[in-house]
A and B are shown apart, each in its own frame.
Chain A
Amino acid sequence: MTFNRREFLATGAAATAAIGTPMILKAQAKEYVLGASLPLTGPFATAGQLVAPAFSLAQKLFNDEGGIAGIPIRFVTEDSGYVPQNTLANYQRVLATEGNSLVAYFSDSTGAMKLIAPELKGDNARLMGSTSFASELADPATHPYQYLSGPTYQDQFDILMQNIKLAGGSKIAIIYSNTEFGRDPLEHGRAKAAELGLEIVLEETTKPQGADIPTHVTKLAQSGAEHCILHGYVTGVWPQLIGGARQFGLPVQFHGTFWGMEKLIADRITAEAGPFLAGYQGVMPYRYFYDRDDAPRYQQYAALSKAMFAGTPLENYMSTWALQAMCGLELAMKALRATAEAGNELTADNVAENLSGISDWDSGGFFGGPVSMTNNKIGTGRVYEYSPETKLFTPSSDWLST
């Protein structure tokens, strides 16, 4: 290979320049930065790509309202590939380049939240929301700066199991992905089932993608379960499992948790493989976006989406995943604005204190009524059922709180 000296020097200079650039960025005009990592590639890319537009919408919406006490905000959104250490690296990078302008961060997985949690100390601490509903995070004593914009996965299991009990079920199966996300509510679920007198006849772990569907369905068939909870999946595996079970004619009632409840995915499955999701139920902390008659905040979103995403499928519908991100950002903004208006510095401690003090918040759409932050989470949700004819998830229970 011929790599002459001049080329070598040029490459070296380019490398030095690249490392040096962040130092120049540091001295920028006054604005607040909110960082985010999203899984734009990797196993949950579909979700990440649906959530991403919400951030440009949020930037416009919040800046139109005056940013944080008159100072505009800017989002720095990056790809993580659903790899926790990438999220950590993204966080550390934006922390190093933006310094004190960075006021909050939105991270993208249970694993990342847990990996970053111990890094949030002293000057490195920032308020951190995420796509995760991991139960371990809902504890201000151990995770003071991290919060959930809904109920934990454990709460979701509680709601589902109570609903199963009400429906007269007795034998349940739990199928979950072998990830920290999938395993999160398992132990709690066992205890809850014992408490309610439900018998867990099958606990099956699968790969998060590319799972061996025929074998899992066979095990489900032979377990004789009446109800089956699917947890830890986003776009893949759960539809195939339900499809396989229906082909065998199993009379199992399937239940999902937040990430398996997206209308876009359910619609696509119906279009591609037939109406086998009929009767599929699951727990959802938010209202669906089409249920916005008395939801002023949703109507604002809708008006903005129409303007910003004209001609795309996002024009009229915002996915539940994007709603979760929006809810997280609304909470963060509320806390940041309250801190700034009180004349305090936007340190993680000040903001977190304001966040945990949020009570009787009228979200203007997300939830059934006014909600409060308790233990850095909002423990409310409701069970919805999918109908392939109307292509809608309709509520089959009232708002339940835990």
Chain B
Amino acid sequence: MINGNLKADYSADERILNNRNKQFFVYGSMFFLTLFPVFADDYAVLMACKMGILLIAVIGVNVLTGYTGLISLGHGAFIAIGAYSTVIFSNLFDGLPTGILPFVVVPLAISVSAIIGIIVGLPSLRVKGLYLAVATLAASFIVKFLIEQDLFSPWTGGIVGIDTPVPNILGWELDTKREMYVLITVLAICTMLAAQNLFRTRVGRAFIAIRDRDYSAEILGISLLRYKLMSFAISAGYCGLSGALGAYFYARILPDQFGLNLSLELVAALIVGGMGRTLGPFFGVIIIMLVPELIKISMSSATGGSLDWARYTAPVQEIVFGLLLVFFLLKEPLGINQITDRMLRAINRWPFARG
């Protein structure tokens, strides 16, 4: 009931989980995620890992697109940079004890991503909107092209890809998917918390001011140069972390994994989930990853696994992906987060007015 939300002091009002329903939802989800590897089968764990990796990247895109208002269609490139840096640095620092290697390599991968993010973000000072979208798109094509070049193949493996190391955290070797699940889930929750808290600081508020009107923000004394580039760096850094996890998760990485489709998937997940909201990426990733699986499962059970029909699955998945994006843009531009908000509000006010 609504009077259950009574707050007696400011600190209660400032909490992230400022009412019981939110607390119930968040703690409930965490409880579920903890128990998940116990009862889920291998394939469900595998899907959950992939979702977690994608989630971290979508949170990164959310910082840039959702909070700062800069469109990017090329964030797949930062994931690629994160993944490849992880492999390259691991091979470079071969001499270090494997137990502490990830603590050196992953921060390095994140910073390389962030630095390249700043470089790619440079045009954002002069161009906005769709010019920036195309500039990032162009940059991502170029990054993928460079990775494929023979010139760099001693480090990147070129077009045939490169084997990745097994992560080893202080002697704990994560060589099964279930162990990776633990690492990925913990990191995903941490990044989500970090993103949520970022927007309670001066920096985060500056981002939001830039999104709402960049010139006004500048007049208020926010340095566009500094904050736009910072937003690019943070968002690329998140994607770098996602790439690093991806490199640890897959036994080998290929440049093809980081193409245009990945970049579009990131943006689509963000739009479907809800831009500029902390839980938006969470909902978006679940939909974007689960819907194709459901289509595949239902189509193969409907046709009895017949090969004649198997070739229609991929096109249907593709069409549904596009339709989801269009549907949310036309009908629910604020994404699933808006729907869940409405539901939470309705529960909160029950039995009084809804909406």
Asked if chains A and B are in direct contact (CB within 8 A), the reply is yes
Q: Which of B40, B290, B307, B343 has the most C-beta atoms of chain A within 10 angstroms of its own C-beta?
A: B307
Bound state CA distance, A15 and B332, in angstroms?
22
- Report yes or no: B43 in contact with A97, Cβ–Cβ below 8 A: yes
Bound state CA distance, A6 and B7, in angstroms?
31
Binds B, one of A78-86, A210-218, A363-371: A78-86
Within 8 A of B (CB), among A14-50: 14-15, 18-19, 21-23, 26, 40-42, 45, 48-49
- Report yes or no: B297 in contact with A1, Cβ–Cβ below 8 A: no
> Is B311's beta carbon under 8 Å from chain A?
yes
- Report yes or no: B254 in contact with A115, Cβ–Cβ below 8 A: yes
> Is A308's beta carbon under 8 Å from chain B?
no
Bound state CA distance, A178 and B307, in angstroms?
30
B interface secondary structure, majority = helix
Within 8 A of A (CB), among B284-301: 290, 293-294, 297-298
Bound state CA distance, A45 and B250, in angstroms?
26
Chain B contact patch, size range: 20 to 34
Chain A 279-319, CB within 8 Å of chain B: the 1/0 string? Answer: 00000000000000000000000000000000000000000
* Interface residue from A1, A26, A42, A77 paired with B331 (Cβ < 8 Å): A1
Q: Which residues of A contact B315 (CB under 8 A)?
A: 41
Q: A1-B339, A18-B297 are in contact. Are A77 and B310 (CB under 8 A)?
A: yes
A interface secondary structure, majority = helix
Q: Which of A15, A23, A79, A183 has the most C-beta atoms of chain B within 10 angstroms of its own C-beta?
A: A79
Min CB distance A146 to B, Å, is 13
> Is A55's beta carbon under 8 Å from chain B?
yes
Q: Which residues of B contact A78 (CB under 8 A)?
A: 310
- Report yes or no: B310 in contact with A40, Cβ–Cβ below 8 A: yes
Min CB distance A342 to B, Å, is 30
Q: Which residues of A contact B160 (CB under 8 A)?
A: 110-111, 114, 136, 180, 183
Bound state CA distance, A96 and B47, in angstroms?
11
Q: Which residues of B contact A (CB under 8 A)?
A: 40-44, 46-47, 159-161, 163-164, 250-252, 254, 256-257, 290, 293-294, 297-298, 305, 307, 310-311, 313-315, 331-332, 339, 343
Q: Which residues of A contact B (CB under 8 A)?
A: 1, 3, 5, 8, 14-15, 18-19, 21-23, 26, 40-42, 45, 48-49, 52-53, 55-56, 76-79, 81, 83-85, 88, 92-93, 95-97, 110-111, 114-115, 117-119, 136, 178-180, 183
Seed contacts A18-B294, A22-B43, A40-B307; 5 additional CB < 8 Å A-B pairs = A78-B310, A85-B250, A111-B160, A119-B251, A180-B159
